[in-house]
């Protein structure tokens, strides 16, 4: 009898231990499920809040390639912009090109330079006065050599093509990226970041001039769909314009007013679905502005 009672107590103890073990396993599984859900939710929030201009890179520019642009897109009447600000009278004039001696033009930059470069090349083809090479690098920036080390890449392009004129447009991917300035980590909008960024832009200008480019046209950034992005674009434009003003053979080409309302507002009809890149009409405004600035620098053919 005593043995039977002990065996019954032992079975009841084992059942209690098994029940406790099952409860612990259920609690652990519940905590794991909650943790996975929290991580997933954090990822969704992060992706939803990422800006297309300052995230990991500019979205691929589907319509910036020659194949995506229409075969012969003609600018509408509204696409013809007013002349951009005239270059300083101290800038030396250029000899006007001829069909026999056309200008070799390099049009480079990030993906925002893509469609304007393609359409600008049509100006050259239609006039017979320019041979244009477009070289836009998606998601590229001056703050980081990934995916493109611009000083090295530009040097290779200059060595290969020996352009007479350089056109460059970049910057929309840069404000969200940190830099090393004089051995110290810095980020936008600190003064050290702004100073280093202007230095890097100016370095590209000087590289082109040093390699025999007769004139550099540095194209500024346009108004953006969000106020914060617009303020960043305006701040970078100030740096570009200041760097260009230091060199008689560099012309700053404004695009902000070209693509904005009279009150400086955003015009969605001139931009693609992401609100950053350009429609044909928006890109034509930039291409026309560069063309106008270039023609103003030509002296009549002798």
pLDDT value for 93 = 86
Round to whole Å and give the CA distance between 122 and 126. 6
14 alpha carbon, distance to own chain's centre: 68
What pLDDT score does 73 carry? 41
User: What digits encode the pLDDT tens for the residues 55-112?
Assistant: 333 333 333 333 333 333 444 333 344 344 444 446 788 889 999 999 999 999 999 9
> pLDDT tens digits for the chain (302 residues)?
444 444 455 555 556 666 555 555 544 444 433 343 333 333 333 323 333 333 333 333 333 333 333 333 444 333 344 344 444 446 788 889 999 999 999 999 999 999 999 999 999 999 999 999 999 999 999 999 999 999 999 999 999 999 999 999 999 999 999 999 999 999 999 999 999 999 999 999 999 999 999 999 999 999 999 999 999 999 999 999 999 999 999 999 999 999 999 999 999 999 999 999 999 999 999 999 999 999 999 876 54
Residue 21 CB coordination number (10 Å): 10
CA 40 to chain centre: 29
Q: What is the CA radius of gyration of the chain?
A: 29
pTM of the model: 0.72
Domain ranges of the chain: 1-49, 62-299
> Which of 67, 138, 63 shows the shortest CA–CA distance to 108?
138
In our burial notation (b when 16+ CB lie closer than 10 A, e otherwise), range 158-197 reads: beebebbbbbbbbbbbbbbbebebeeeebebeeeebbebb
At residue 170, what are phi and psi to the nearest 5 degrees? -160, 165
> Which architecture characterizes domain 62-299 according to CATH?
3-Layer(aba) Sandwich (3.40)
């Amino acid at each position: 009898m005593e043995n039977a009672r002990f065996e019954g107590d032992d079975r009841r103890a084992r059942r209690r231990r098994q029940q406790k073990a099952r409860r612990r396993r259920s609690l652990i599984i519940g905590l794991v499920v909650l943790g996975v859900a929290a991580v997933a939710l954090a990822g969704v929030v992060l992706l939803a809040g990422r800006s297309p201009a300052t995230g990991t890179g500019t979205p691929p520019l589907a319509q910036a390639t020659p194949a995506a642009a229409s075969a012969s897109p003609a600018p509408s009447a509204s696409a013809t912009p007013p002349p951009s600000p005239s270059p300083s009278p101290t800038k030396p004039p250029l000899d006007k090109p001829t069909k026999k001696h056309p200008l070799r033009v390099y049009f480079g930059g990030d993906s925002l330079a893509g469609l304007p470069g393609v359409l600008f090349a049509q100006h050259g083809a239609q006039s017979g006065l320019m041979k244009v090479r477009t070289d836009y690098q998606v998601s590229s920036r001056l703050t980081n050599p990934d995916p493109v080390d611009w000083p090295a890449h530009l040097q290779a392009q200059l060595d290969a093509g020996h352009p007479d004129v350089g056109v460059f447009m970049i910057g929309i991917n840069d404000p969200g990226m940190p830099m090393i300035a004089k051995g110290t980590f810095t980020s936008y909008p600190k003064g050290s970041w702004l100073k280093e960024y202007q230095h890097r832009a100016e370095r590209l200008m000087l590289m082109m001039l040093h390699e025999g480019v007769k004139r550099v046209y540095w194209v500024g950034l346009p108004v953006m769909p969000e106020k914060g992005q617009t303020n960043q674009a305006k701040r970078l434009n100030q740096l570009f314009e200041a760097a260009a003003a230091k060199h008689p053979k560099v012309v700053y080409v404004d695009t902000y007013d070209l693509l904005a309302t009279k009150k400086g507002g955003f015009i969605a009809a001139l931009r693609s679905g992401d609100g950053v890149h350009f429609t044909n009409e928006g890109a034509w405004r930039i291409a026309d502005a560069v063309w106008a600035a270039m023609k103003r620098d030509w002296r009549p053919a002798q």
